[in-house]
Structure 1
Amino acid sequence: MPLLIVGIGILALLVLIMGLKLNTFVSLIIVSFGVALALGMPLDTIVKTIEAGLGGTLGHLALIFGLGAMLGKLIADAGGAQRIAMTLVNKFGVKNIQWAVVAASFIIGIALFFEVGLVLLIPIVFAIARQLRVSILYLGIPMTAALSVTHGFLPPHPGPTVIAGEFGADIGQVLLYGIIISIPTVLLAGPVFTKIAKKIVPDSFTKTGSIASLGEQKTFKLEDTPGFGISVFTALLPVILMSIATIITLVQNTAGVADNSFLAAIRFIGEAGTAMLISLLFAVYSMGLARKIPMKQVMDSCTTAITQIGMMLLIIGGGGAFKQVLIDGGVGTYVADLFEGTSMSPILLAWVIAAILRISLGSATVAALTTAGLVIPILGTTDVNLALVVLATGAGSLIASHVNDAGFWMFKEYFGLSMKETFATWTLLETIISVAGLLFILLLSMFV
């Protein structure tokens, strides 16, 4: 019965968002109330549960997400992202242009959220494709593969960051293991899949696409942008800080080194919130003040970044409210009882649930959060590596993007594809990332 109620709730969510075109956040809150009532939760606890879910999720995420958005915006507005892309294109040369796009998109994708990275990189990809007279899709598939992988697997992106918090996983471990599985996944879903897609839908590689909807793009003369080294360092600084702290902690635990104030300080600097704040302050200098950009202009970029993610934060909060209703309403416990004694790995279970919800709901972040509500009670009964469960949830939440996902329509319109071609390229690309990600996670689970 609880699963039937959840199923009806998800169906109602689809009707509200796709049928009635209601705002996603409002839809999530309505469904949270409806499911809570249907599960028989006491009336005086429902509002408290929804507030706890919303506040608990945003409390963990808002700091990292907000600082991350500002960091990415500073790099983009200073021309740092353009410098990274164009330098790598020039270094790799025409023959290896796909690898240049993958490398640039991966670095930029760590610093920028998916939609922002897409809007920023697409004009650059179009310009390179025209200059080299190659298909825009030939470069577009590797670019979106790299952006999608960083979005699904790597903090400070919302999905992996939120789920790490919900599961109580070490965010540095999520980042470290995420990078390990991201690299082979990007190679498979990017350059390798491009060859397969060319055989499946050859006509799609002749399309010219259109970026008119993006409006006039801010472009820079290369000499007016920050240096390549400082741009890459600024983009990757949070990753460097979190990774150093994680590696030192792993070495400390393995070698049995006694804790001391120096190691505590390193852990503090490597905390996601601290690392993001240090990185943002460094970016204010490296992308702004060091280049004689007035502080007001630098702060205007930060303000714009926060304005752009306001609704995204509310939607994530709404997903957190729905997740809390599933936990407090007993659905998570019901699922845990259902799988009690099963030999199914929590990693696989998290992936399956996230995949089903992703196909149903469209939003990767909402699918991941709802999965947390169903999986958390199971995690208490197992010694599975929580960082790998986070990554498996992220992988499942990327599968089979189709008509209920904004990314599907963005890809279709920018690259000028038909519905059939979009399914054969974008939907298949996301599915490859999801399945390959799961396989690499299961492989990694044998060693960690």
Structure 2
Amino acid sequence: MSLSPTLLAAAPPALPHTGSNTQLLVAVLLSIGAIVLLITRLKLHPFLALTLGSALLAIVARAPFDKLLTSFSTGFGATVASVGLLIGLGAMLGKLLADSGGANIIADTVLARTGRRALPWAMALIAALLGLPLFFEVGVVLLIPIVLLVARRGNLPLMRVGIPALAGLSVLHGLIPPHPGPLVAVDALHADLGITLALGLLIAVPTLIIAGPLFARVAERWVGPLAVPEATAPAETEQREHTPSFGAVLATILLPVVLMLGKALVDVVVDDPKAGLQRAFDFIGSPLIALLAAVLLGMLTLGRAAGFSKARISTTMEKSLGPIAGIVFIVGAGGGFKQTLIDVGVGNAVSEWSSKWHISALLLGWLIAVLIRLATGSATVATITAAGIVAPLAADMSSTHAALLVLAIGSGSLFFSHVNDAGFWLVKEYFGMSVGQTLKSWSVMETVISVVAIALIMPLSLII
């Protein structure tokens, strides 16, 4: 996915700066440091922190303030235009899945056909399926009651089924569109979304196996026995006479993935922009159309199948958009910060430094994302900022290597979640763990995902 010609045409001219590359480096460090301080110490909303950080960046780089406003607003608008619609459609599909009972249908069907020894693998599969259309926090709220129920019924240690479920959600959150972080990185680096999705799934499967069911055995020993809290019904899910079928739920969840992968396959096989088949798949495989098709299908296969009236479906759609307003503004401000980074010349300076240091662009993107993740606790902020800094390095890359750069940044954004990450506390409270136990399980699991993913990405970049 890339910016439209209109948005590209409206891009502001580069912000002039009178300092050296060293001054630009100081400007970047100060602006990122300010964002970190505002978010972690002063508890300022990331939207405001990113906005103020952009202003500080331009001021230290000695760029004209009026040009800064144009640069930031253009980056904000372009990012919201390209990503905000997709976040909204994803939220609608996730809300339908939650309210209709579709999430429970997936879980109950898989668990009914799974033996006790295979339950950790089943939980990883369930989390991966539900993680495709759901934001991480929503997925946690839906999955945790299922995890607790499975642990209790199967008489299994909580970590053995909990870690695979959390790994499934986290891997999808960091690597696979249409989650906000990967979408923003695809847009910033002008990567092909279909190729990114295909390579992301290729990387995600072995990463999930290692960080999920396999690491769960280790985490179980490190954390020790945990009392399984009483399982509660998933949020906003009620007992009802009518429920969607497993096949219909699965088809609805996988539809956008199939359409986007189909576009990528046709692009490779046909490779003729004028061919009717490729033009058709370019349309139906675009993320906007693919997600829109899934939402429209979900209104029938999830909403109507659950017995919802037209008014109830409309209400569900409306309620889905409220909680994502903050996400959209954070992503938009991140786009403004990214555009400011580019326009003051930071990207060009990074290109010069990376050529002198002979460091791989993939490894550089991963390292920058790791540092910002450790400092801010936000995977989305880490992805947005890192993508903006290394964006010029993707200009001369092939489509596959640009996609791998997206994945490298996404994997770096997951590194070692700790006390400054809301997800850390969410997991701690739901599982009834201490801070130390959460660090030994959840935090290490996130690090395993990050390290395994980049360890797979780097050699893959040498052969494709």
Q: 1:314 to 1:220 in 2, by over 3 A?
A: same
Q: CA deviation at 1:130?
A: 1.9
- SS of equivalent to 2:355: coil
**2:246 pairs with one of 228, 242, 251:** 228
Q: Aligned partner of 1:208: which letter? A: V
How far is 1:422 from its partner? Answer: 1.1
- Residues 250-291 of structure 1, C-alpha deviations (whole Å, 9 max, x = no match): 1223xxx68412221122100111111111111111112344
1:130 & 1:355 partners in 2: Cα distance? 36
Amino acid corresponding to residue 79 of structure 1 in structure 2: G
In structure 2, distance between residues paired with 1:261 and 1:59: 27
Is residue 367 from structure 1 mapped to residue 385 from structure 2 by the alignment? no
Relative distance call for 1:258 and 1:31 in structure 2 (3 A) is closer
The residue type equivalent to 1:169 in the other structure is A
Contact 2:152 2:228 in 1 (8 A): no
In structure 2, the partner of 1:306 is 321
- Of 245, 249, 255, 2:267 maps to 249
How far apart are the structure 2 equivalents of 1:218 and 1:52?
38
1:21–1:342 Cα change, 3 Å: closer
- 2:36 is equivalent to residue 14 of structure 1: yes
Structure 2 counterpart SS, 1:62 = helix
Give aligned-pair identity as a percent. Answer: 40
Q: Give ranges in structure 2 of 5+ residues lacking alignment.
A: 1-22
Determine if contact 1:92/1:99 at 8 Å carries over to the other structure: no
Is contact 1:10–1:361 with CA below 8 Å preserved after alignment? Answer: no
Of the candidates 380, 390, 405, which is equivalent to residue 389 of structure 1? 405
Q: Which residue of the partner structure matches residue 359 of structure 2?
A: 344
Q: State whether structure 2 residue 282 is matched by structure 1 residue 262.
A: no
Residue 440 of structure 1: CA displacement? 1.5
Aligned-partner SS, 1:28: helix
RMSD: 1.9
Q: TM-score, normalised by structure 2?
A: 0.91
Which letter maps to 1:133?
Answer: N
Structure 2 equivalent of residue 167 of structure 1: 189
Question: Are residues 1:423 and 2:443 paired?
Answer: no
Distance 2:253 2:358 in 1: 42
Report the AA paired with residue 252 of structure 1: V
Q: Deviations over 1:165-219 (max 9, x none)?
A: 11111101111111111011001000100111123232xx32435788xx98344
What is the CA-CA distance between 1:382 and the residue it aligns to? 4.4
Deviation at 1:223, TM superposition (A): 6.8
Q: Which amino acid aligns with 2:32?
A: I
Q: Deviations over 1:312-344 (max 9, x none)?
A: 111111111211221112222211111124432
Give CA deviations for 1:287-313 in whole Å, capped at 9, x if unaligned.
123444211111111111111100111
Q: Give the letter aligned to residue 434 of structure 1.
A: S
Report the AA paired with residue 38 of structure 1: V
Q: Supply the AA of the counterpart residue of 2:186.
A: A
Please show how residues 92-241 of structure 1 align to structure 2 within 5 Å.
92-202=114-224, 205-209=225-229, 217-221=235-239, 224-241=242-259
Distance 1:134 1:443 in 2: 37
Q: 1:11 deviation in Å?
A: 2.3
* AA in 2 matched with 1:112: L
Q: 1:56 to 1:306 in 2, by over 3 A?
A: same
Gap regions ≥5 residues in structure 1 = none
* Cα 1:154–1:230 shift into 2, 3 Å: same
8 A contact 1:234–1:282 mirrored in 2: yes
Residues 209 and 417, structure 1, Cα contact 8 Å, conserved in 2: no
Structure 2 distance, partners of 1:141, 1:216, is 18
Change (3 A) 1:435 1:49: same
Structure 2 counterpart of 1:413: 429
Report the counterpart of residue 52 of structure 2 in structure 1. Answer: 30
Q: 1:114 & 1:210 partners in 2: Cα distance? A: 22
> Which digits, 9 at most, give the CA deviation of each residue in 1:89-141, with x for residues without a partner?
11112221111111111000001111111111111111222222223222111
SS in structure 1 at match of 2:417: coil
- In 2, distance between residues paired with 1:63 and 1:70? 11
Question: Following TM superposition, by how much is the alpha carbon of 1:53 offset from its aligned partner in structure 2, in angstroms?
Answer: 1.5
Specify the alignment match of 1:324 in structure 2: 339
The CA distance in 1 between the partners of 2:379 and 2:248, in whole Å, is 32
Of 11, 17, 27, which residue of structure 2 is paired with 1:5? 27
Partner of residue 60 from structure 1, selected from 82, 99, 105: 82
Q: Quick check: 1:211–1:414 contact (8 Å CA) kept in 2?
A: no
CA contact 1:75–1:81 (8 Å) conserved in 2: yes
8 Å contact from structure 1 (residues 348, 392) kept in 2: yes
Q: Distance in 2 between matches of 1:302 and 1:367?
A: 30
User: How far did residue 244 of structure 1 move?
Assistant: 1.2
Counterpart CA distance in 1 for 2:248 and 2:343 is: 47
Could you tell me how far 1:444 is from its partner in structure 2?
Answer: 2.4
CA distance in structure 2 between the partners assigned to 1:286 and 1:57 by the alignment: 31
Structure 2 vs 1, CA of residues 78 and 382 (structure 1 numbering), >3 Å: closer, same or farther?
A: closer
| Superposition TM-score, scaled by structure 1 size | 0.94
CA distance in 1, matches of 2:132, 2:265: 19
Q: Residues 153 and 178 of structure 1 are in contact (CA less than 8 Å); yes or no, is this contact kept in structure 2?
A: yes
